[in-house]
């Protein structure tokens, strides 16, 4: 199991390296357009409102609120602290990467106003990192397996919707979102490994 984990980590790092190279060479245009046209096949007021609502769940304020509620409700207070710490580290990592790549946002596609750079998507990183860690914690709890499966599937769909919301709202290219998921997946492997060592 450990070997599989680290193989996956290496694969994710390599995938990010390849994707970052393609972005710097401006070779992701076809992919970005293809995904955008699928997600934005229809643009109406309902969908705009829906995706504006969904995208808020990867904002700093909502993430902090969920972490605090988790801290207050659960007996294991460490879960809340782990969630807050991870969200902060992902934010720092995202800002650092954006300052390295300096990719401009797709200004001509924006439905909402966002500043800062585009690659990788911070919302995608937070979504997978934060809610992915939530999934891990759920599987550590004494809950029924069907419940764990249902909640995990719903959270995975939620993560994907947050990623889609960034593309639909025109604040990120699809390659930004994919990169955010890849980096966050690699980071999540490291962070969960850290937690497992601390909890032993």
- Per-residue confidence in pLDDT tens, the chain, 200 aa: 678 888 999 999 999 999 999 999 999 999 999 999 999 988 888 999 999 999 999 988 888 888 888 878 777 778 888 888 998 999 999 999 999 999 999 988 889 888 889 999 999 999 999 999 999 999 988 889 999 999 999 999 999 999 999 999 999 999 999 999 999 999 999 999 989 887 65
Which residue range is the domain that position 114 belongs to? 2-199
Separation of CA 172 from chain center: 13
Q: What token pair was written down for 104?
A: 């401009």
> What residues contact residue 57 under an 8 Å CB cut-off, 6+ apart?
63, 127, 158, 162
- Asked whether 18 and 183 are in contact (CB, 8 A), the reply is no
The total domain count for the chain is: 1
pTM: 0.92
Q: At what angle do helices 174-199 and 145-168 cross, to 10 degrees?
A: 150
Sign (positive/negative) of CA torsion 148, 154, 155, 157? Answer: positive
């Amino acid at each position: 199991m450990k070997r599989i984990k680290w193989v996956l980590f290496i694969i994710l790092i390599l995938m990010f390296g390849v994707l970052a190279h393609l972005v710097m060479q401006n070779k992701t245009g076809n992919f970005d357009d293809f995904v955008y046209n699928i997600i934005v096949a229809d643009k109406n007021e309902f969908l705009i409102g829906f995706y504006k609502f969904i995208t808020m769940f990867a904002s700093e304020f909502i993430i902090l609120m969920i972490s605090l509620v988790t801290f207050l409700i659960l007996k294991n207070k460490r879960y809340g602290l782990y969630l807050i710490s991870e969200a902060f580290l992902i934010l720092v990592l995202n800002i650092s990467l954006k300052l390295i790549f300096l990719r401009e946002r797709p200004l001509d596609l924006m439905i909402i106003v966002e500043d800062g750079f585009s690659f990788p998507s911070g919302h995608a990183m937070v979504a997978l990192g934060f809610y992915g860690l939530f999934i891990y914690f759920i599987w550590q709890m004494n809950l029924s397996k069907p419940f764990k499966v249902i909640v995990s599937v719903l959270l995975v769909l939620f993560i994907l919707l947050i990623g889609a919301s960034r593309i639909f709202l025109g604040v990120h290219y699809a390659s930004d979102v994919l990169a955010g998921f890849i980096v966050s997946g690699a980071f999540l492997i490291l962070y969960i490994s850290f937690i497992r060592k601390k909890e032993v």
